[in-house]
Structure 1
Amino acid sequence: MKKWYAVIGNPIEHSLSPLMHNTWMTVEERDAAYLPLHVLPENLEQAFTGMKVLGISGFNITIPHKETILPLLDELDPLAKKMGAVNTVVRLENGQYKGYNTDGLGFVKSLEDAVGTQHKNKRLLIIGAGGASRGICFALVQEGYTNIAIANRTVSKAQAICNELDTNAEALSLDEAATQLGEFDIIVQTTSAGLNHSEFALPLSLENLSKTAIVADIVYNPLMTPFLAQSKEKGATVVTGLGMFIHQGALAYSYWTDVYPKAAVVEDVLLANLGGNK
């Protein structure tokens, strides 16, 4: 029987996940398909029941269902449980459904893909204290990054994440982070600043940014956000959000198929869709 996978969310028409996963499946000649499913919050449980009845082998989850799916699942991966959010679900051999979160690990893989693995002892600043920041922080610590500071408009939210991490992390205000910016080797922008429809382009001033810094943004549309563009102008090495998107998807794909697909296979396809260059 042909296997099928999906991404569920509200809205869903903007998602590039179907393009990415179907490209991998086509290249690998898998008898499988990946569909976008528009699921309203009030219909989540009913939709999940229907998906199970129809034998779905696995699916991705985007806004606003990453937290509300938790009580509907049979099992959670430890990292997903710690993060309190799931973006990937796998049907196990016993027919039960297990939740994972590949967002944070996808970011770490994209960072190391771009700049190598030799920066784990460097000073690292995370800008933002939302769900994306939380997931990235947990994944960074899990992968051996220990010198972390988190900056947020509401410092108490940054401190709350620091308190949960298995390392000594520091909470800063955005003004404090901007003042100290030159002391950080890696800066990771996790807020919605720079999205095509966001109200603000920069979360903090880049005046004190070091030209030797590595600057990453998790936003991939636009590919070159204002934050990355200004960082590049100052001489910093920049890492776009496309790599995180590809690697979080590749991790999900590997959980479903036991094969980690090649990022390069989908990179050009996604770049063409986004109208940008690497």
Structure 2
Amino acid sequence: MIKALVIGDPIDHSLSPVMQEAAFQQTGISGAYEKKRVPSDELEAFVNFLKDSHYAGCNITIPHKVSILPFLDEIDEEAKEIGAVNTVVNKDGKLIGYNTDGKGFLLSLKEKTRKPLSDLNVLLIGAGGAARSIAYALSKEGPKYMAIANRSEGRLRSLLKDLKDERIEGMSLQRAEENLARFDVLINTTNAGMHPDTESVPLNLNLLKTGAVVSDIVYNPLTTRWLKEAEEKGATTDNGVSMLVMQGAMAFEKWTGTFPDTNNMKQVVMEQLRR
């Protein structure tokens, strides 16, 4: 039996157990997935427990994605460059850290775009942890043009410096709004519009290009005000459920060697959220 879990603080809100249990059932693999609250001062003790346990690994959520790095035996090159880990594999007591956030997001985005990213102009909004993972994955795809807009200039500069990709342009939110017609793909990585602050939007969509793809990593509510406005303007939209499911499926594959049916996982998550 394969056992895995997700850790964080807080952790009650996590939908990972519902999603991963569905993956075990669908693949026919005997397994169980739990969630465990691990406060920051107990992280090292948890890592030591995990090494000696029968768990295949775990998912990492806020606030441990960066702080767990020093306690791992090995870190995948991509996770090292991003500077954060969201998946840990326990290989006979050796803990290896990965980051499936960015690649998971890309898998979901490619389901919505009709052209390869190398033919598209992409705007990423935000410069936090999620933006870091997604920006790294996007830069590897080589979009035709890519810009990152953020409220804080300091965080934006820090992210651009770490990405080491001179093709990516940084800009203010105001400038991004003024140049919105240039972009084929818009991605919100901030928590604007997330419950309970459901009326806020990351960016004004007045100049949105016809037929653009608008993606929001927020999934509570399922359709943010920003996505509703985008839909009204004829955009193709995608909420954060896709990224949640894809990164989870990639983690599942690392523990079991099997990639699960993501449509089934997505359906289970959506049903849970609608409740």
Band of TM-score, shorter chain: over 0.9
C-alpha distance in 2 between matches for 1:207 and 1:55: 53
Q: Which residue of 2 aligns with 1:144?
A: 142
C-alpha distance in 1 between matches for 2:118 and 2:19: 30
Once the 2 structures are TM-superposed, how far is the Cα of residue 146 of structure 1 from its aligned partner?
Answer: 5.1
Structure 1 range deviating more: 126-135 or 159-168: 159-168
Out of 159, 162, 166, the residue aligned to residue 160 of structure 2 is 162
Aligned residue runs from structure 1 range 1-278, under 5 A: 2-92=1-91, 94-116=92-114, 118-145=116-143, 147-163=145-161, 164-198=163-197, 201-275=200-274
Once the 2 structures are TM-superposed, how far is the Cα of residue 28 of structure 1 from its aligned partner?
Answer: 1.8
Once the 2 structures are TM-superposed, how far is the Cα of residue 261 of structure 1 from its aligned partner?
Answer: 1.0
- Normalising by structure 1, report the TM-score: 0.94
Once the 2 structures are TM-superposed, how far is the Cα of residue 209 of structure 1 from its aligned partner?
Answer: 1.1
* Residue identity in the other structure for 2:30: D
- Secondary structure at the aligned position of 2:64 is classed as coil
Once the 2 structures are TM-superposed, how far is the Cα of residue 54 of structure 1 from its aligned partner?
Answer: 2.3
* Residue identity in the other structure for 1:150: I
Is the CA contact 2:8–2:60 (under 8 Å) kept in the aligned structure 1?
A: yes
Q: Please tell me the root mean square deviation across aligned C-alpha atoms, in Å.
A: 1.6
Is the CA contact 2:51–2:94 (under 8 Å) kept in the aligned structure 1?
A: no
Is the CA contact 1:141–1:165 (under 8 Å) kept in the aligned structure 2?
A: no
- Normalising by structure 2, report the TM-score: 0.95
Once the 2 structures are TM-superposed, how far is the Cα of residue 198 of structure 1 from its aligned partner?
Answer: 3.4
Is the CA contact 1:159–1:170 (under 8 Å) kept in the aligned structure 2?
A: no
C-alpha distance in 2 between matches for 1:140 and 1:165: 13
Larger RCO, structures 1/2 (Cα 8 Å, 6+ apart): 2
Is the CA contact 1:141–1:167 (under 8 Å) kept in the aligned structure 2?
A: no
% of aligned pairs identical?
41
C-alpha distance in 1 between matches for 2:120 and 2:173: 20
Is the CA contact 2:50–2:57 (under 8 Å) kept in the aligned structure 1?
A: no
Once the 2 structures are TM-superposed, how far is the Cα of residue 242 of structure 1 from its aligned partner?
Answer: 0.9
Is the CA contact 1:8–1:37 (under 8 Å) kept in the aligned structure 2?
A: yes
Provide Cα deviations, 1:220-276, integer angstroms capped at 9, x if missing partner: 111101111111111111111111111000111111111111111212211111118
Aligned residues between the structures: 274
Is the CA contact 1:21–1:249 (under 8 Å) kept in the aligned structure 2?
A: yes
Once the 2 structures are TM-superposed, how far is the Cα of residue 197 of structure 1 from its aligned partner?
Answer: 2.3
* Residue identity in the other structure for 1:109: L
C-alpha distance in 2 between matches for 1:225 and 1:82: 31
Is the CA contact 2:84–2:99 (under 8 Å) kept in the aligned structure 1?
A: yes
**Structure 1: gaps of 5 or more residues:** none
- Secondary structure at the aligned position of 1:115 is classed as coil
